[in-house]
Structure 1
Amino acid sequence: MATDIKDIAHAVEAAAVLKPLPAPPRLLALGEPTHGVDAPLLLRNELFRQLVEQEGHRTIAIESDCLMGLVVDDYVTSGTGTLDEVMERGFSHGFGASAANRELVRWMRDFNEGRPASERIRFAGADGPLEITGPASPRQALTSLHGYLAAHVDAGLFPCTGETLDRLLGPDDRWTHPDAMMDPARSVGRSAEAGELRLHADDLVALLDTQTPHLIKATSREAWDRARLYGRTAVGLLRYHYWMADTSPGRMTRLVGLRDQMMADNLLAVIERGPALVHAHNGHLQRPKSSMRMGGLPVEWWSAGALVSARLGEEYAFLAMALGTMRHQGVDAPPPDTVEGLLYALPEDRYVVDAAQLATALGDRRPAPRVSPWFGYASLDPAHLADIDGIVFVRDAPRSAPHGT
């Protein structure tokens, strides 16, 4: 058994990752089973560099706010701002504090220095502006879309003025009440003003679409792409706020599904530039339904990866990541009868295993699910092996040091 698995375990390199796939994917998804440690991110950085240098990849997308990600993209493509500013303003969920993310941004900027625009690599946030405590105000997305259109489209075609949007939006803190995630009554999402804004957002996106030939010629495809991002984010945020105010039993299922729908739409837009790597939690990238418990109740939804895979077929590939230990969180060596335990028995610190070959090597043996003692580590589900293209294994994930050390 161990010999068979050892024979199919390879170094995590672009060639080894892509070789078992039926064709080079348009979107290569690299999952991670937890957040907040740099070991998986350092591996991601190395793989992305190889994909850029050897396979022609030009974009990396990570599980971070898509609007904040524009700050990072502007820096890596044109040097706008400073690295410190970008790490502070360009990431959500605290990801800007990661030394590995800082190194990624620094390398991307260095790579792009002196290159023509057509050869520069790009950064994208895949997530919506949805912090853990709730969604952002739709102000930035709506007003940015309106401003772009106002500069290039006849005013007589507009559904509303900028002043009307500002009046309907009101103070931003009415959209971001920290209690709204658990108390629908705190949400502004079903107010009369929010309802009007949803109609205006829909009409503004339709105006953007109907004026596409003119707008691309008058500005650039890059500016038009950014306006599309503003448009789908505005519509998605307003839809999310609407369901924040819902009181039905399906509220949380609807919300987590809408978040992944926004992620999927962002990823489908990213690959219009060419092949891309996306890095996010395994639960956002897997093909089977995702699940978790919220408020003691089970919640199931289709992930961004499942949605994109349904659209792309074999042009989507998913590598699930598993860790051996996170001892600073009480996650010690995995039991030997789990998938992680079988991989942990191998001598290397990290490697990739083709999931189909692993299933063959296992034969009739069915690994047990690993039970994590820490809620923040999501173990690999052995029932999902048939829906995974490969497993990237990292033996140990120690506590990450601050980026300045």
Structure 2
Amino acid sequence: MATDIKETARAFEAAAVLRLLPNRPRLLALGEPTHGEDTLLGLRNTLFRQLVEEGYRTIAIESDCLMGLLVDEHVTSGAGTLDEVMEHGFSHGWGASPANRELVRWMRAHNEGRPASEQVRFAGFDGPLEIAAAASPRQALTALRAYLAARLDDDLFPCTADTLDRLLGPDETWTEPAAMLDPARSAGRSAEARELRLVADDLAALLDAQRPRLRAESSPEEWHRACLHARTAVGLLRYHHWMADTSPARLNRLVGLRDQMMADNLLALAARGPLFVHGHNSHLRREQSSMPMGGQLLEWWGAGALASSRLGREYAFVATALGTIRHQGVGTPPPDTLEGLLYELPEEACVVDTRRLTTALGDTPPVPRVSPWYGYAPFDPAHLADSDGLVFVKDMPTP
């Protein structure tokens, strides 16, 4: 069996990934089983640089979609300094990652002196959501209204700018951290929030109804940003509404809504051209995702499942599995697990053909690995068919 498994693996490179796929996908997703490991992000960077040579021009990562606009502006035009972009262009603390910093630095250097058609682009595909709270809808709503107000007559608007500001109120009302655990602390079902949902819906509908005129009078980038602000405003207000829910389905609803926002962003980006996306395996897989939270098992359809249902063969997903994260208590994988079998491969990082691997495993599939650390999700061997390929990385170095 060991010989068969060795024959399923190739050196880590874009060519090996693309050879696994029946066609060149419009959206190529690479997952990871844990966050915060720069070794995995470094491999992501290498893969993206190679994919650029294959015609991919945009990378999207699991970070705030609105903050990511700052990064994209920097890499395409040089606006702002690298330090400023790393501080203000990433959510979830990703700006502190040396690998993310190197990605931005390389993208800016690559774009220097190139025409727009040859430049690489950056995007965040997550909503403005953190683990502890969701953002105020102010930025998305006011940007959307300002875009429309610069091009359309005032009598088309559902409310004035002053009324919008009054309905939004203090941002702290929306970002109250206690609301994640206590629905009563959420502003999502206040009278103002209910009215804002109608306003956001009307503004988004106005954007769509005036599409021919607006697209003719806007640059592609202005239109793209207006659509992003519309999606984000509607999605954030919907998310806040369900944060105030008291039913047992509350957390399931929230994780599903977050991935729905992710999927909408990915589909919009993929419509502009070939897209490489990197995020957690649970967000990008085709099958239903699950995780324990708040004393219950949450199940939802992730962004990858939603995007795949729309794109079909134009969506490809390559998962990542790994051997050790010793600094987090994750030691050498047991030999009867998938990670344990792959750990015997000689390469530190390799691309595995999951179809051939399934054949090599035969009728005795490996047992699922159990992680001693909550921050790492082992690869479930029952989901091999869900992936178009598998990247295996043996060891995470101790920081």
Q: Please report the TM-score for the alignment, with normalisation by the length of structure 2.
A: 0.99
One-letter amino acid of the counterpart of residue 270, structure 1: L
SS of the counterpart of 2:177?
A: coil
Instruction: Name the Cα RMSD after superposition.
Output: 0.7
Q: CA deviation at 1:210?
A: 1.3
Once residues 278 and 399 of structure 1 are traced to their aligned partners in structure 2, the CA distance between those partners, rounded to angstroms, is 26
1:189 alignment counterpart? 188
Q: Deviations over 1:196-227 (max 9, x none)?
A: 10001011011111111211222212101100
SS of the counterpart of 1:273?
A: coil
What is the 5 A alignment of 1:45-56?
A: 45-53=45-53, 55-56=54-55
SS of the counterpart of 1:132?
A: coil
2:31 alignment counterpart? 31
Q: CA deviation at 1:156?
A: 1.3
1:4 alignment counterpart? 4
Once residues 233 and 353 of structure 2 are traced to their aligned partners in structure 1, the CA distance between those partners, rounded to angstroms, is 40
Alpha carbons 1:369, 1:382 under 8 Å: kept: yes
1:361 alignment counterpart? 360
SS of the counterpart of 1:165?
A: helix
More displaced, 57-66 or 13-22? 13-22
Q: CA deviation at 1:296?
A: 1.2
Once residues 334 and 390 of structure 2 are traced to their aligned partners in structure 1, the CA distance between those partners, rounded to angstroms, is 18
Once residues 100 and 117 of structure 1 are traced to their aligned partners in structure 2, the CA distance between those partners, rounded to angstroms, is 25
Once residues 50 and 207 of structure 1 are traced to their aligned partners in structure 2, the CA distance between those partners, rounded to angstroms, is 41
2:73 aligned with 1:74? yes
Q: CA deviation at 1:399?
A: 3.4
Once residues 92 and 2 of structure 1 are traced to their aligned partners in structure 2, the CA distance between those partners, rounded to angstroms, is 42
One-letter amino acid of the counterpart of residue 174, structure 1: T
Alpha carbons 1:139, 1:169 under 8 Å: kept: yes
Q: Deviations over 1:104-143 (max 9, x none)?
A: 0000000100011111111000100001111100000000
Alpha carbons 1:133, 1:178 under 8 Å: kept: yes
Once residues 115 and 385 of structure 2 are traced to their aligned partners in structure 1, the CA distance between those partners, rounded to angstroms, is 42
2:239 alignment counterpart? 240
2:133 alignment counterpart? 134
Once residues 10 and 152 of structure 2 are traced to their aligned partners in structure 1, the CA distance between those partners, rounded to angstroms, is 55
One-letter amino acid of the counterpart of residue 29, structure 2: A
Alpha carbons 1:353, 1:392 under 8 Å: kept: yes
SS of the counterpart of 1:64?
A: strand
Once residues 227 and 304 of structure 1 are traced to their aligned partners in structure 2, the CA distance between those partners, rounded to angstroms, is 21
1:145 alignment counterpart? 144
Once residues 3 and 63 of structure 2 are traced to their aligned partners in structure 1, the CA distance between those partners, rounded to angstroms, is 40
Alpha carbons 1:180, 1:187 under 8 Å: kept: yes
Q: CA deviation at 1:47?
A: 0.3
2:15 alignment counterpart? 15
Q: Deviations over 1:293-314 (max 9, x none)?
A: 1111111000000101111111
SS of the counterpart of 2:63?
A: strand
1:330 alignment counterpart? 329
2:379 alignment counterpart? 380
Q: CA deviation at 1:155?
A: 1.1
Once residues 296 and 221 of structure 2 are traced to their aligned partners in structure 1, the CA distance between those partners, rounded to angstroms, is 43
1:265 alignment counterpart? 264
Once residues 294 and 331 of structure 1 are traced to their aligned partners in structure 2, the CA distance between those partners, rounded to angstroms, is 21
Once residues 272 and 297 of structure 1 are traced to their aligned partners in structure 2, the CA distance between those partners, rounded to angstroms, is 36
1:211 alignment counterpart? 210
Aligned length: 399
Once residues 217 and 310 of structure 1 are traced to their aligned partners in structure 2, the CA distance between those partners, rounded to angstroms, is 31
SS of the counterpart of 1:317?
A: strand
Once residues 24 and 240 of structure 1 are traced to their aligned partners in structure 2, the CA distance between those partners, rounded to angstroms, is 34
Once residues 62 and 28 of structure 1 are traced to their aligned partners in structure 2, the CA distance between those partners, rounded to angstroms, is 12
What is the 5 A alignment of 1:213-362?
A: 213-362=212-361
Query: Runs of at least 4 residues of structure 1 off by over 3 A?
Result: none
Once residues 295 and 284 of structure 1 are traced to their aligned partners in structure 2, the CA distance between those partners, rounded to angstroms, is 19
One-letter amino acid of the counterpart of residue 78, structure 1: S
- Structure 1 unmatched runs, 5+: 401-405
- Identical pairs, percent: 73
- Structure 2 unmatched runs, 5+: none
Once residues 361 and 66 of structure 1 are traced to their aligned partners in structure 2, the CA distance between those partners, rounded to angstroms, is 41
Once residues 238 and 315 of structure 1 are traced to their aligned partners in structure 2, the CA distance between those partners, rounded to angstroms, is 31
What is the 5 A alignment of 1:69-108?
A: 69-108=68-107
One-letter amino acid of the counterpart of residue 45, structure 1: N
Once residues 270 and 308 of structure 2 are traced to their aligned partners in structure 1, the CA distance between those partners, rounded to angstroms, is 13
Once residues 119 and 386 of structure 1 are traced to their aligned partners in structure 2, the CA distance between those partners, rounded to angstroms, is 35
One-letter amino acid of the counterpart of residue 287, structure 1: R
1:403 alignment counterpart? none
One-letter amino acid of the counterpart of residue 21, structure 1: L
Once residues 242 and 356 of structure 1 are traced to their aligned partners in structure 2, the CA distance between those partners, rounded to angstroms, is 43
Q: Deviations over 1:226-271 (max 9, x none)?
A: 0000000000000000000000010000000000000000000111
Alpha carbons 1:37, 1:399 under 8 Å: kept: no
SS of the counterpart of 1:351?
A: strand
SS of the counterpart of 2:384?
A: helix
SS of the counterpart of 1:347?
A: coil
SS of the counterpart of 2:199?
A: helix
Q: CA deviation at 1:14?
A: 1.3
Q: Please report the TM-score for the alignment, with normalisation by the length of structure 1.
A: 0.98
